[in-house]
Amino acid sequence: MRALILLGLVGLAAQLVDGSLGMAYGVTSTTLLLAVGTNAAAASATVHLAEIGTTLASGISHWRFGNVDWKVVAKIGIPGAVGAFAGATFLSSLSTEVAAPVMSFILLALGCYILVRFTAFGLPRGNLGKPLRRRFLAPLGLVAGFVDATGGGGWGPVGTPAILASGRLAPRKVVGSIDASEFLVAIAASIGFFVGLGSENIDFAWVGVLLLGGVIAAPIAAWLVRHIPPRILGSAVGGVIVLTNVRTLLRSDWIDASTGVQTVTYVVIAAIWVAAIAWSLRECRRDKAHESVEAVEAELRLRTTAEEETASA
């Protein structure tokens, strides 16, 4: 019973983070399942079955708060489903230990870019509002779906930073669209795992409590992402990506860093991350104050013009 309660709390926390940042539900939940001895394929299958419900709830919540671009959902979600089905059947018979560090290097580079860009410059403005093309979203969805199924999580970490880096969609809509499209990915991955594994290795009680926690958190996260300033959201997303993938690389066979080196690295990254968010908060307050001054000045100009017109009449 204690294990089920813990899983429910993990599902709630994971969905709160995922619904706010567009990532981390699968990674968090799969990590816990692996820690208690579940094999990789069964852990990923359990998480993806739970995600059918959590992503549906999250997608509806984001839609109600106006966070979803349905054109993006269609362009990335369908290829993502194809990739997820392929990844699920692939994982059922093959390890992905070699591929994980390579993908982590790519994600780390994207995470550093997002962290620096949003912290230093705020929301990208040059391309905002321009449509995201299918030739960009389709391959991205295919790769992200495959990684998500084989790694027990990855749809958000691959899709969110790539779309954020394009600067063509507001961060809250990136998060909402990624969460909504993940529903298709979760269904396809689950079908793939049933084909490759059957149902005997899946604990449906665990699926249920993960689902319950995620459904409770989904509307809260959708509200939260609408009210977080884009600059702060971008800094937070970048920090998550950097910290998560540095951890993966340090523990990989490629590096195999000692516990002391890992600890020092995590502390340094955490300090930089906190400083970045603090800086973003400061800049957001400064921008808001500047906008308030401009609004007052504009109102004064309108009043002056109206008074002058009245006097001349």
Token pair 């308030």 in the structure block, residue: 292
pTM of the model: 0.64
Q: How far is CA 120 from CA 51, 114, 199, 281, in A?
A: 34, 10, 49, 12
pLDDT exceeds cutoff 50 at 84? yes
Check residues 92 and 284 and name the one with the higher pLDDT: 284
Burial 141-178 (b: 16+ CB within 10 A, else e): bbbbbbbbbbbbbbbbbbbbbbbbebbbbbbbbbbbbb
For the chain, domain boundaries: 2-312
pLDDT at 270: 93
Which tens digit of pLDDT belongs to each residue from 48-58?
A: 788 787 778 77
Q: Are 28 and 16 in contact (CB under 8 A)?
A: no
Check residues 183 and 313 and name the one with the higher pLDDT: 183
Residue 167 carries which DSSP code? Answer: T
pLDDT at 156: 78
Count of residues in the chain:
313
pLDDT at 83: 92
Q: Are 172 and 215 in contact (CB under 8 A)?
A: no
Average pLDDT value for residue range 139-154: 82
Nearest to 214 by CA among 77, 75, 51, 36: 51
- Cα separation of 238 and 218, whole Å? 21
Nearest to 55 by CA among 199, 224, 189, 198: 189
- Angle, nearest 10°, between helix axes 70-91 and 134-151? 40
- Angle, nearest 10°, between helix axes 2-21 and 230-251? 130
Q: Are 11 and 210 in contact (CB under 8 A)?
A: yes
Average pLDDT value for residue range 25-40: 65
